[in-house]
Amino acid sequence: MLMFISQVCNIVMLLVKCTFPCPRNVLLMTLNGSQFYTYSICNVEEREQDNWLRTTFIQRHPLASRVFVELKFIVRDCNSFDGASLICKETFNLYTSESDADVGTTFRKSQFKKVATIAPDEITGKNEMHINTETRVVDGLSRKGFYLAFQDIGACIALLSVRVFYKTCPGTVQNLATFPETVAGAENQPLTEVSGVCVDNAASEELPRIYCTEEGKWAVQVGQCQCKPGYEEVKDTCQECRPGSFKAEASSDACEPCPANTDTLEHGAVLCACKDGFFRAPTDPSTGPCSGPPSAPRDLSAVPQPSVGRLILSWTPPEDTGGRNDITYSVECQRCDGVVCHPCGERVRYEPASMKLTEARVSVSELEAHLNYTFIVEAHSGVSQLAGEAQRPPSRSNVTIFLHYTGEHPPQITTMRLVGRTSTSLALSWDVSPRPRPQLNIRYKLTYHKKVSIFCFSHQECPEIKLFVLCIILVLCQYGCFYLFIPFFFVFRKRNSHTRQGPEDTYFSTPEQLKPLKTYVDPHTYEDPNVAVLKFATEIHPSHITKQKVIGAGEFGEVYRGILKAPGRKEVAVAIKTLKPGYTEKQRQDFLSEASIMGQFSHQNIIRLEGVVTKFKHAMIVTEYMENGALDRYLRDHDGEISSFQLVGMLRGIAAGMKYLSDMSYVHRDLAARNILVNNNMECKVSDFGLSRVLEDDPEGTYTTSGGKIPIRWTAPEAIAYRKFTSASDVWSFGIVMWEVMAFGERPYWDMSNHEVMKAINEAFRLPAPMDCPSAVYQLMLQCWLQDRAKRPRFGDIVSLLDKLLRSPESLKTIADFDPRVSIRLPSTSGSDGSPFRSVSEWLESIKMSQYSENFTCAGIVTMEQVLQMKTEDIKNIGVRLPGHLKRIAYSILGLKDQTSTLSVFAV
Ligand code: AMP
């Protein structure tokens, strides 16, 4: 683009010196219909001509350091004069002089610098006229203005016009970046670098830049602006995605239609929410389709194979897979007696397994004859857990089969349970195997005898009971399950420790929730702990186990990663806990107690026990292998890299595992992120069930005045004060785990001492919201930390709430108030010893961002003074890209500037 400074043709020029009468030299001419003045001279026959014509003062644009001067002129051919003069010239000179002010008519030749000698391309003869156009560049201008001057040295010339201009690159929008109009060739540079800004609703990782060439053309753009999530490019602007479409990331892509089973009514959607009845599994991408739970397996059939003592169940996959391909099946076995059904118990064997079956077939063995069995096969997928019962299509099929009794042996009593009691009676039930034929008149004999002579008559004195029978009674009955009432006279054996939940703890134990067959059994109630292990865990032969690599250190010995290859089963990756040599019998029993406990659980979010080695010198516990190890370390290693949606998905898994444990009346007591394991699919599983672990194992355990070691930061006040461990105290710990998860593995209460933590909690202070924590999630944490344990939510409530949040990811968008000075507990002006940070690397280490040390050094940021000057943009520019890290560093700088940082303000 050309910018005219001066178009001289129509302005009166100042003739500064002429050797001929001046008025004759200025003529009004008409050319192509336009009138303009021409300046002419023709002293071709006079020697030593030195005639000057100077312009008026020409103001310069401050950025235009080079200007172009275009001249239109006529030069007469010297030969066209009769008796051609030897002294006649055919050229003239262009001069310039810079000045900061208009000097009026003052003229000093010496102040002018020659720019060029101007010669015509075509000279004008006697009969024809040629107008020449020449353009010259005047460079390196720096003062407020300048003059041009033309020197004639004896030619016959007419100056028709002078145009003075500079070039610019015009203001433009290119690739969603706006660049301002820019003077070309400023400061003698062939290319001028120009910074731009992204248009509204666009952003760029790098500052957008472009070059303006000398010729006033734009060239080579750097730094691509892209429309932000929820916006797409429409003619140099970013427009909101229309309802029904979305864009999840900043990119140059257009908005995409919502994927299958999702929708959004909003403009500018970043994600599409699942339609009613459809879900995303925590491992599903949030931009992908939603899917529904599967329908029931079809054509379920049970075919007995008496010769090999087993039954084959087979079925065809569900008609509707809900759009997923991760369908698995579980099989449940019930022994039904009329309308009453009981789970078949642990004796029944399934090949290959009873859960997570991928084939539509399972073989069932160890069944008793003469019984009605009902098998329930359920189809599952990644979203089954998310679909509330009510919304789920029927996903179960069942088949009932009666197994014939072939022998004449008397039935056997398998298990006996206490199902009720009053002050004068006890109700007992037991299972009979095989089930007696109805026509058989079966008699049962109940005997009892005194075991130990410690009498007690209230459960406060005898928190755990073990019944030994006092009298003999004969009862006639015809069915497999019986109740009898016996007058009281009981002998109880008092036990001291490890009661997971005392009988007075009705917190989760409403009568309808009491499911005797699913209640956790304390291995200490077994006389011989070895019997308990064998009851709840499968014995594995050591030759089936291959140890590969040490992955951790447990209380009793190393933990290895390895392979389990049981006969007839596929190889599976496992974790192998070992018992170090030189153990005592008590240590061996404590070690194996973890397996006795774990073996009672079967839940997706509880670490699964594969089996134990007890019959060989080196005892081992073999569990499923969790590729990503302990949750606290995993989160620290992925700080800022996991979305809130995924974090809440992980919490949902932990809550589901804890609900299962609390339903079984098991109180964990040491729920903390370090005791949660994470697998390849980012699924979280609760682990660490040893009986002695809170006392011995956990490095967080601290002795309290109420006795015993307690991980103070994770433990509810009533459990610290008077050892009141219940599922409600586990809920408190779950709240702390939520905080650890949302803060990417930050240590709860940072470097406060245990004493300070207890004091703060008693004074009603609670941990503040972690950075970027959804408000709803933080509210749930606060509920878990209510002083009154009866008011805390139950794990069932927590699972439902987290499910609800996951079903509508929009609900996670409202972020809880966050005060960086309180919530990150960033050091203010000093390091841990109270002295100012001595170096940038010391400061980075204190905020756990040492990995960026090199970025700071390379960018020349080597002193804390320089750090304090940094803006968010600067931090980004030196290569800190992850939003979480960016914020942490920016907030730390904020904290360094504000020395009033203190933790004492997080009251709720
Ligand atoms: P623990 O004795 O259970 O606390 O285990 C010690 C460490 O071994 C844990 O912190 C984990 O890093 C690792 N570990 C234990 N069990 C497993 C497992 N099933 N899969 C992977 N790593 C495990």
* Residue where a domain terminates, one of 765, 789, 812: 812
Q: Is 187 left (phi over 0), alpha (psi -120 to 50) or beta?
A: left
Name, in order, each residue with C-beta under 8 angstroms of 266's C-beta and a sequence gap of 6 or more. Answer: 243
Nearest CA to ligand 1 atom 4: 554
What CATH number does the domain containing 361 carry?
2.60.40.10
Nearest CA to ligand 1 atom 22: 629
Burial class (CB in 10 A: 0-12, 13-18, 19+), 325: exposed
Quote the pLDDT of residue 377.
92
Q: Do residues 222 and 238 share a domain? A: no
Q: Do residues 442 and 589 share a domain? A: no
Nearest CA to ligand 1 atom 23: 629
Describe the strand order of the beta sheet including 177-179 as a list of residue ranges: 172-174, 177-179, 197-198
In the block, tokens 């064997």 appear at: 349
Rounded to whole angstroms, the Cα distance separating 800 from 658 reads: 13
Rounded to whole angstroms, the Cα distance separating 490 from 57 reads: 121
Name, in order, each residue with C-beta under 8 angstroms of 254's C-beta and a sequence gap of 6 or more. Answer: 232, 233, 247
Contact predicate 137/94, CB 8 Å: no
For residue 769, report the distance from its CA to the centre of ligand 1, in Å. 29
For residue 676, report the distance from its CA to the centre of ligand 1, in Å. 9
Rounded to whole angstroms, the Cα distance separating 711 from 705 reads: 13
Nearest partner of 414 among 375, 354, 366, 473, judged by Cα:
366
* Residue where a domain terminates, one of 608, 624, 640: 624
The ligand 1 atom at the shortest distance from the C-alpha of residue 628 is: 21
What CATH number does the domain containing 45 carry?
2.60.120.260
Quote the pLDDT of residue 561.
96
Question: Which amino acids bring their CB within 6 angstroms of ligand 1?
Answer: 551-552, 554-555, 559, 575, 607, 623, 625-626, 629-630, 677, 687-688
Residue 517 domain-assigned (yes or no): no
Residue 205 domain-assigned (yes or no): yes
Q: Is 321 left (phi over 0), alpha (psi -120 to 50) or beta?
A: alpha
Q: Residue 419 is inside which H or E element, if any?
A: strand 412-421
Rounded to whole angstroms, the Cα distance separating 815 from 808 reads: 15
- Phi, psi dihedrals of residue 159, rounded to the nearest 5°: -95, 115
Nearest partner of 55 among 118, 126, 112, judged by Cα:
112
For the chain, the domain total comes to: 8
Rounded to whole angstroms, the Cα distance separating 826 from 269 reads: 35
For residue 445, report the distance from its CA to the centre of ligand 1, in Å. 48
Rounded to whole angstroms, the Cα distance separating 668 from 655 reads: 12
Quote the pLDDT of residue 496.
30
- Phi, psi dihedrals of residue 807, rounded to the nearest 5°: -70, -25
Annotated binding site: 551-559, 577
Nearest CA to ligand 1 atom 2: 554
Residue 13 domain-assigned (yes or no): yes
Complete DSSP assignment for 423-476: SSEEEEEEEEESPPPTT--EEEEE-----------STTT-SS------S-EEEE
Complete DSSP assignment for 626-670: -TT-BHHHHHHHTTTTS-HHHHHHHHHHHHHHHHHHHHTT---S-
Q: In degrees, to the nearest 5, what angle opens at C-alpha 130 toward C-alphas 124 and 136?
A: 110
Q: Do residues 742 and 805 share a domain? A: yes
Quote the pLDDT of residue 531.
85
* Residue where a domain terminates, one of 466, 499, 532: 499
Rounded to whole angstroms, the Cα distance separating 278 from 382 reads: 11
The ligand 1 atom at the shortest distance from the C-alpha of residue 594 is: 3
Q: Do residues 366 and 377 share a domain? A: yes
Rounded to whole angstroms, the Cα distance separating 775 from 801 reads: 13
What CATH number does the domain containing 772 carry?
1.10.510.10
Nearest partner of 286 among 799, 808, 882, judged by Cα:
808
For residue 344, report the distance from its CA to the centre of ligand 1, in Å. 32
Quote the pLDDT of residue 835.
46
Pairing of β 412-421 and β 349-351: unpaired
Contact predicate 700/713, CB 8 Å: yes
Contact predicate 247/241, CB 8 Å: yes
Q: Do residues 147 and 34 share a domain? A: yes
Most informative mutation of 548, 559, 606, 691 for ligand 1 (most atoms within 8 A of CB): 559
Nearest CA to ligand 1 atom 13: 552
Q: Do residues 260 and 365 share a domain? A: no
Quote the pLDDT of residue 75.
94
Contact predicate 297/379, CB 8 Å: yes
For residue 620, report the distance from its CA to the centre of ligand 1, in Å. 13
Residue 514 domain-assigned (yes or no): no
User: Which of the following is catalytic: 632, 670, 697, 803?
Assistant: 670
The ligand 1 atom at the shortest distance from the C-alpha of residue 625 is: 20
Most informative mutation of 549, 550, 551 for ligand 1 (most atoms within 8 A of CB): 551
Quote the pLDDT of residue 277.
86
Complete DSSP assignment for 307-330: GGTEEEEEEE--S--TT-S--EEE
Contact predicate 112/96, CB 8 Å: yes
Q: Do residues 781 and 643 share a domain? A: yes
Residue 281 domain-assigned (yes or no): no
Q: Do residues 733 and 700 share a domain? A: yes
Name, in order, each residue with C-beta under 8 angstroms of 654's C-beta and a sequence gap of 6 or more. Answer: 605, 676, 684, 686, 734, 737
For residue 645, report the distance from its CA to the centre of ligand 1, in Å. 26
Burial class (CB in 10 A: 0-12, 13-18, 19+), 162: buried
Rounded to whole angstroms, the Cα distance separating 441 from 447 reads: 20
Quote the pLDDT of residue 82.
74
Rounded to whole angstroms, the Cα distance separating 319 from 19 reads: 110
For residue 746, report the distance from its CA to the centre of ligand 1, in Å. 20
Annotated binding site for ATP: 551-559, 577
Contact predicate 294/360, CB 8 Å: no
Side chain identity at residue 353, one-letter code: A
Q: Do residues 728 and 796 share a domain? A: yes
Q: Do residues 13 and 143 share a domain? A: yes
CB-based contacts of 97-101 (< 8 A; 24+ apart in sequence): 97/146, 97/147, 97/149, 98/141, 98/142, 98/143, 98/145, 98/146, 99/57, 99/143, 99/144, 99/145, 99/146, 99/147, 100/143, 100/144, 100/145, 101/57, 101/144, 101/145
Residue 443 domain-assigned (yes or no): yes
Catalytic site includes residue 100 = no
Burial class (CB in 10 A: 0-12, 13-18, 19+), 386: buried
Give me 551's structure tokens.
């992955």
The ligand 1 atom at the shortest distance from the C-alpha of residue 624 is: 19
What CATH number does the domain containing 563 carry?
3.30.200.20
Residue 279 domain-assigned (yes or no): no
DSSP state of 543: G
Q: In degrees, to the nearest 5, what angle opens at C-alpha 285 toward C-alphas 281 and 286?
A: 90
For residue 623, report the distance from its CA to the centre of ligand 1, in Å. 10
Q: What is the largest CA-CA distance in the chain?
A: 160
Cβ neighbour number for residue 403 with a 10 Å cutoff:
19
Rounded to whole angstroms, the Cα distance separating 750 from 314 reads: 55
Q: What residues of the chain score a pLDDT lower than 50?
A: 2, 4-23, 405-409, 436-441, 450-471, 473-517, 695, 824-835, 899-908
Quote the pLDDT of residue 649.
95
Cβ neighbour number for residue 397 with a 10 Å cutoff:
19
Quote the pLDDT of residue 464.
31
Residue 704 domain-assigned (yes or no): yes
Domain that holds residue 258: 231-274
Name, in order, each residue with C-beta under 8 angstroms of 124's C-beta and a sequence gap of 6 or more. Answer: 74, 75, 76, 77, 80, 130
The ligand 1 atom at the shortest distance from the C-alpha of residue 627 is: 21
Most informative mutation of 601, 677, 680, 694 for ligand 1 (most atoms within 8 A of CB): 677
Q: Do residues 356 and 218 share a domain? A: no
Nearest CA to ligand 1 atom 16: 575
Burial class (CB in 10 A: 0-12, 13-18, 19+), 352: middle
Name, in order, each residue with C-beta under 8 angstroms of 127's C-beta and a sequence gap of 6 or more. Answer: none
Name, in order, each residue with C-beta under 8 angstroms of 222's C-beta and a sequence gap of 6 or more. Answer: 206, 208, 209, 210
Q: Residue 400 is inside which H or E element, if any?
A: strand 396-403
Rounded to whole angstroms, the Cα distance separating 116 from 96 reads: 10
- SS3 state at 119: coil
Q: Do residues 375 and 441 share a domain? A: no
